[in-house]
Amino acid sequence: MKYCWSLPKNDPWSTPFAETLLNYLEICRGDQILDIASGSGIPAFYLAEQVGPKGSVLAIDINQRQVLKSRSTQGNHLPWLRFEVGDMRFLPADLPKFDRITGNLSFMFFRPNRFDALQNLVRFLKPSGQIVLTFPSMGTFDSLWKYVDKEMSAQGFVNERKALDEYINERPSASEVEKYLKILGLEKIIVGEQPLEVATGSGIEFLEHPLLRGGFLDDIYECFQDQGLANTFMDKIAEKVSHFTPLYAIRCAMSGWKPNE
Ligand SMILES: C[S@@+](CC[C@H](N)C(=O)[O-])C[C@H]1O[C@@H](n2cnc3c(N)ncnc32)[C@H](O)[C@@H]1O
């Protein structure tokens, strides 16, 4: 059989995380899969092709634009794959149960109570079903956070430093998710981490870096009440990238199986 829906080769972020997810995931043709935080369809398209027409993939994302974009990419292909708008933290109770639940780059968005959201999600797993989620775990871009903290300290930014510390400590860690999976009674738990280097130049290339800007650098700007001050501070940081590169994200994958009741 010829497969057409492989992971995009030129994607330096979603694809490496999805590769880690697929290393942990065991799927068979005919499986019914729920893919959460599906975004532009990584890895929903790939999974749909793997499970074939006797299986199904329900891919949900909170962002309607992403869902419409994925539907447009899909066209008439893989009709057993459906993209729907939904919040993975509050799935409707009448949703069926699935053989597999996947979520690439998802777990960090389980805020504000990650355990409750995970517990709710696991309810939609059939007995003997597997859940595999990936996320950038604690340790991601630590060299950057350390440098920013040092600079904030040197410039006397007390409140901003406190906000940064809170942000850093709020991020999910591998040990936290392992604990959650155990409390939820899942079996054959594996939580693994692998570094992923993210290359960047200095100046505007750093400040507008497609991976760093949304979700990572924005979090530093949010530590400042005064956005003018944040801009001046970050412009200086951007000139010093050699002080905190190479930058590493930590690719974390968590996998667990629901016991056969
Ligand atoms: C980093 S992207 C990952 C998308 C895709 N899985 C990938 O690997 O490229 C995260 C996605 O999670 C979605 N998202 C964030 N919070 C969500 C929520 N509460 N429920 C469903 N989707 C959510 C965002 O809209 C975004 O498309």
Q: Which domain range does residue 147 map to?
A: 142-168+200-245
Please tell me if the CB atom of residue 35 comes closer than 6 angstroms to any atom of ligand 1: no
Helix ranges (DSSP H) in 9-80: 14-24, 44-51, 64-74
Q: What is the residue-level pLDDT of the chain in tens, covering all 261 positions?
A: 667 899 999 999 999 999 999 999 999 999 999 999 999 999 999 999 999 999 999 999 999 999 999 999 999 999 999 999 999 999 999 999 999 999 999 999 999 999 999 999 999 999 999 999 999 999 999 999 999 999 999 999 999 999 999 999 999 999 999 999 999 999 999 999 999 999 999 999 999 998 898 779 999 999 999 999 999 999 999 999 999 999 999 999 999 999 997
In the prediction, which pLDDT does 18 show? Answer: 98
Q: Is the shortest distance between the CB of 18 and ligand 1 below 6 Å?
A: yes
The rounded distance, in Å, linking the Cα atoms of 94 and 14 is 30
Q: What value, to the nearest 5°, has the Cα angle with vertex 24 and ends 43 and 96?
A: 60
Q: Please tell me if the CB atom of residue 61 comes closer than 6 angstroms to any atom of ligand 1.
A: yes
What are the E-state strand segments in the chain? Answer: 32-36, 56-61, 81-85, 98-103, 125-136, 187-198, 247-257
Q: Answer yes or no: is 4 within a domain.
A: no
Is residue 235 in some structural domain?
A: yes
CATH classification at residue 133: 3.40.50.150
Range 5-26 burial, b when 16+ CB lie within 10 A, else e = bebeeeeebbbbbbbbbbebbe
The answer to whether residue 7 sits within a structural domain is no
Residue 3 included in any domain: no
Q: Which atom of ligand 1 is nearest to the CA of 38?
A: 6
pLDDT, residue 237, reads 97
Identify the CA nearest to 106 among candidates 36, 49, 26: 36
Please report where in the chains the tokens 């960047």 appear, as a residue: 200
Rounded Cα distance, 103 and 18, in Å: 9
Q: How far is the CA of 106 from the centre of ligand 1 (A)?
A: 6
Does any domain span residue 8?
no
Asked if 210 and 158 sit in the same domain, the reply is yes
Clarify whether residues 82 and 119 are in a common domain: yes
Please indicate, yes or no, whether residues 21 and 125 belong to a single structural domain of this protein: yes
- Give yes or no: residues 61 and 114 share one domain: yes
Question: What is this structure's pTM?
Answer: 0.95
| Same domain membership, residue 73 and residue 22 | yes
Domain tally, the chain: 2
Q: Is residue 87 part of a domain?
A: yes
Query: Is residue 157 located within the same domain as residue 213?
Result: yes
pLDDT of residue 1: 63
